[in-house]
């Protein structure tokens, strides 16, 4: 189904349009390194695919890659045709075969080779498709994967060039390869920038050297250069370029030492020149041009996150309870916990984000098959075995370190046995069912010891010690986890009167290092609980303990594991602030991963480092049994390392428009926040820049006092200023204070789902000094 000729074009105009479109396609394909690629050509030609939504809703749709090589366009075959589009940036992954819930449920195994799914970022529903042949399915999957990989491999400057080029193409309405003054203003609007008519006319006349009334060829290049010119880079470069307008290796070394606070050698500077200088003639002279300098600043290792911390850099041989562990609550839910859908996709998304503790709420299901859902609500149900299969397949794709299966067990003994069989058969030898070693352990093994292993958290009929004793004893304290934190008399009485849940030995025996028990106070835990016996705390109780008994909580968490989970009253699956719980040493601070919010952004920032392994080593004073650390009163100790953080917010680049207001230009404002112990919590904000999301400049400086740097996080937030209502979110980036790189740094921005905003970012200057 070829795209229909656009109305309003003559035959000759249509010929010119097609030729222009081919030229644009060729440029984009070459830019992505896919010129002449067969799969790309297949996608550009387009074709029919069967879209699957249910057993009864399967409809043919025409899909085609647009000439920008980044937008997929789809059209229905209705009389009144509708069409939709999405970009490559919207796609998380493409899966060949019947790998999605929908395709497994609504299609037969015989069509498996012809099936594929486009999995989107965020909450957007998967696109489940069936091609007419296996060969076509492979071409669709192969083509999309190549474009996704090529796009992600572009550096930030290349992404910006690609985006601006295609914005120019969009502004060139009649596709004549020229820009009129009105088209130039449209282009500025597309790139999130608005100027008054006088400035637009001045800019246009400055570029229209031929006085023809439109821009073409070198004039468009001149306009592009003016548009993308960064004055702040000129100022920095000229300060250090002492060799006839270029930087020598010595000049660059001086910049790296003086501004970036790097222990850079002359050899290091020469390597950077060789890597980033684009002009071969300049490179041969061992000099760095301004373009090369900007390319150095725009490469990932020069960003605000210390590249050494982005990889696995911490000691992974400490006991498991010495780490903060990325943890999810109600992991099976895609939305709210009253009527939202449950899905194996929710487990996949969480695990791919590095989550290492997932929750399964298990209930009796039909045909003796346990199900997972939020009990006594309208949330949909998934089979327990399907959840375990999804967890098994995706557990170690992002991180090789252990995954904790937190069981909320409401099943009958019979279906508990089914649960045990499924876990044993699906997880196989990766499921830990006995302590490591031959003797009764005295403490936890390390994440390194437990690589690619699954640990079950739940109730156990007896203590681990009985495995090494002649006779077995049995506890009768069998309750579900949600009851563990009920402490007032009325709730305690209800618990006593409630019929106790019976526990199947087969399931009980799978609980090794994470046995769920009641919390009866710190003294009781110290005197009566073994190291592997852990309690779960509702957020309210945990926060109260963290405020009123912080040091006791810290010492408790030196010896044992603690899990904190959101209050049941959060029916919208909202989240709480995890920072006070980390300050108290809590390891498993579980959040609703399906709800993207500021609290989840902070959680993502905490686990951004250490190879996104989902394990971050706690500071030494949170691992010391004799620790006197008090996060609120801040007594003197090794944790007190008073620093002065200086942040200059200089400029922004290619900020996106607010989704709900695509036709308006943003008025960006930047807020810098510090999270950590109460004394460190602070927030400072720039003035807004009116009508410019493309290249706004602020040049505003802030200073923060940070007393406990090892627990602090720094968050950059960009919002669209609105004087009449709340500001609207544009982008953010959060990282640990101790992972900041100093000097002139770019800050990549993420959307609310935690995905990168292509080409968007801030340019800042960071300095940290010891406070006087």
- Structural tokens at position 136: 């076509």
Query: Which runs of consecutive H residues, i.e. helices, occur in 75-133?
Result: 101-106
Classify 550 as helix, strand or coil: helix
Question: Is 374 a residue of the active site?
Answer: yes
Contact 57, 76 (CB under 8 A): no
For residue 708, the Cα-to-chain-centroid distance in whole angstroms is: 26
Strand partners, 750: 732, 756
Eight-class DSSP state of 259? T
Which tokens belong to 240?
């250090």
765 is catalytic: no
What span, in angstroms and rounded, lies between the C-alpha atoms of 544 and 552?
12
With contact defined as beta carbons under 8 Å apart, do 404 and 588 qualify? yes
Exposure of 82 by Cβ count < 10 A (0-12 exposed, 13-18 middle, 19+ buried)? exposed
Task: Please identify which of the residues 96, 189, 329, 410 carries the catalytic annotation.
Answer: 329
> Nearest to residue 342, comparing CAs of 325, 359, 355?
359
- By residue count, the chain amounts to 772
- Catalytic one among 374, 410, 422, 765? 374
Alpha carbons 320 and 302: distance in angstroms, whole number: 33
How far is Cα 605 from Cα 617, in angstroms, rounded to an integer?
14
Please, what is the end-to-end C-alpha distance for the chain in angstroms? 72
Is beta strand 454-458 parallel, antiparallel or unpaired with respect to 511-516? parallel
CA–CA gap between residue 152 and residue 445 (Å, rounded): 37
Between CA 747 and CA 752, with CA 749 as vertex, the angle to 5 degrees is 150
Among residues 452, 439, 442, which one has the least CA distance to residue 393?
Answer: 452
Q: Is 363 helix (H, G, I), strand (E, B) or coil?
A: strand
Report the alpha-carbon distance of residue 168 to residue 213 in Å, rounded. Answer: 17
Question: Which are the catalytic amino acids?
Answer: 329, 374
């Amino acid at each position: 189904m070829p795209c229909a000729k656009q109305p309003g074009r003559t035959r000759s105009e249509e010929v010119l349009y097609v030729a222009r479109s081919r030229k644009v396609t060729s440029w984009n394909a070459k830019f992505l390194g896919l010129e002449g690629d067969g799969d790309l050509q297949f996608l550009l030609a387009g074709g029919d695919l069967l879209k699957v939504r249910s057993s009864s809703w399967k409809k043919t749709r025409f899909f085609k890659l647009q000439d920008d090589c980044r937008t997929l366009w789809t059209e229905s075959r209705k009389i009144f045709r509708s069409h939709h589009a999405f970009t490559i940036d919207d796609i998380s992954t493409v899966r060949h075969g019947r790998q999605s819930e929908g395709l497994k449920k609504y299609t037969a195994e015989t069509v498996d080779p012809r099936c594929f799914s486009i999995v989107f970022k965020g909450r957007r529903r998967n696109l489940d498709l069936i091609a007419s042949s296996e060969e076509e399915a492979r071409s669709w999957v192969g083509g999309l994967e190549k474009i996704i990989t090529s796009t992600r491999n572009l550096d930030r400057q290349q992404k910006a060039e690609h985006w601006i080029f295609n914005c120019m193409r969009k502004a060139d309405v009649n596709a004549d390869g020229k820009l009129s003054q009105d088209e130039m203003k449209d282009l500025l609007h597309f790139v999130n920038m608005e100027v008054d008519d006088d400035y637009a006319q001045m800019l246009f006349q400055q570029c229209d050297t031929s006085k023809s009334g439109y821009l073409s060829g070198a004039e468009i290049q001149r306009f592009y250069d003016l548009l993308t010119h960064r004055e702040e880079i000129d100022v920095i470069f000229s300060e250090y370029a002492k060799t006839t307008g270029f930087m020598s290796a010595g000049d660059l070394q001086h910049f790296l030492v003086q501004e970036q606070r790097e222990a850079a050698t002359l050899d290091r500077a020469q390597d950077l020149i060789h890597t980033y200088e684009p002009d071969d003639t300049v490179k041969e002279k061992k000099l760095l041009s301004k373009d090369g300098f900007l390319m150095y600043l725009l490469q990932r290792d020069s960003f605000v996150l210390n590249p050494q911390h982005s990889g696995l850099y911490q000691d992974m041989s400490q006991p498991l309870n010495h780490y903060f562990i990325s943890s999810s609550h109600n992991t099976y839910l895609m939305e709210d916990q009253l009527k939202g859908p449950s899905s194996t996709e929710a487990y996949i998304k969480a695990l791919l984000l590095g989550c290492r503790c997932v929750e399964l709420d298990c209930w009796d299901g039909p045909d003796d098959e346990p199900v997972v859902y939020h009990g006594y609500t309208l949330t949909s149900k998934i089979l327990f075995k399907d959840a375990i299969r999804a967890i098994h397949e995706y557990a170690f794709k992002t991180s090789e370190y252990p995954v904790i299966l937190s069981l909320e067990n409401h099943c009958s003994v019979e279906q508990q046995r089914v649960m045990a069989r499924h876990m044993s058969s699906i997880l196989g030898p990766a499921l830990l069912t006995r302590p490591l070693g031959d003797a009764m352990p005295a403490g936890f093994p390390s994440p390194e010891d437990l690589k690619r292993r699954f640990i079950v958290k739940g109730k156990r009929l007896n203590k681990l010690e009985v495995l090494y004793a002649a006779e077995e004893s049995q506890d009768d304290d069998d309750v579900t986890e949600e009851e563990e934190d009920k402490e007032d008399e009325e709730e305690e009485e209800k618990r006593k009167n409630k019929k106790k849940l019976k526990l199947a030995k087969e399931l009980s025996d799978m609980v090794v290092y994470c046995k769920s028990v009641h919390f009866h106070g710190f003294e009781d835990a110290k005197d009566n609980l073994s190291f592997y016996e852990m309690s779960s705390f509702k957020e309210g109780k945990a926060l109260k303990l963290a405020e009123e008994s912080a040091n006791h909580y810290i010492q408790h968490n030196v010896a044992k594991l603690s899990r904190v989970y959101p209050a049941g009253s959060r029916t919208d699956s909202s989240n709480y602030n995890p920072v006070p719980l980390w300050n108290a040493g809590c390891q498993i601070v579980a959040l609703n991963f399906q709800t993207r919010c500021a609290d989840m952004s902070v959680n993502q920032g905490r686990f951004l480092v250490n190879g996104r392994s989902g394990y971050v080593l706690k500071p030494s004073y949170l691992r010391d049994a004799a620790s006197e650390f008090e996060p609120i009163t801040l007594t003197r100790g090794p944790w007190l390392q008073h620093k002065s953080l200086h942040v200059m917010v200089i400029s922004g680049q290619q900020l996106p428009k607010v989704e709900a207001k695509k036709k308006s230009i943003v008025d960006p404002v930047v807020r810098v926040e510090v999270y950590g112990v109460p004394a460190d919590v602070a927030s400072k904000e720039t003035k807004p820049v009116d009508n410019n999301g493309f290249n706004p400049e602020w040049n505003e400086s802030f200073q923060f006092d940070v007393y406990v740097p090892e627990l602090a996080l720094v968050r950059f937030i960009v919002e669209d200023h609105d004087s009449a209502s709340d500001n609207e979110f544009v982008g953010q980036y959060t990282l640990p204070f101790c992972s900041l790189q100093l000097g002139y740094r770019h800050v990549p921005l993420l959307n609310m789902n935690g995905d990168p905003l292509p080409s968007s970012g801030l340019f800042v200057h960071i300095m940290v000094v010891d406070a006087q």
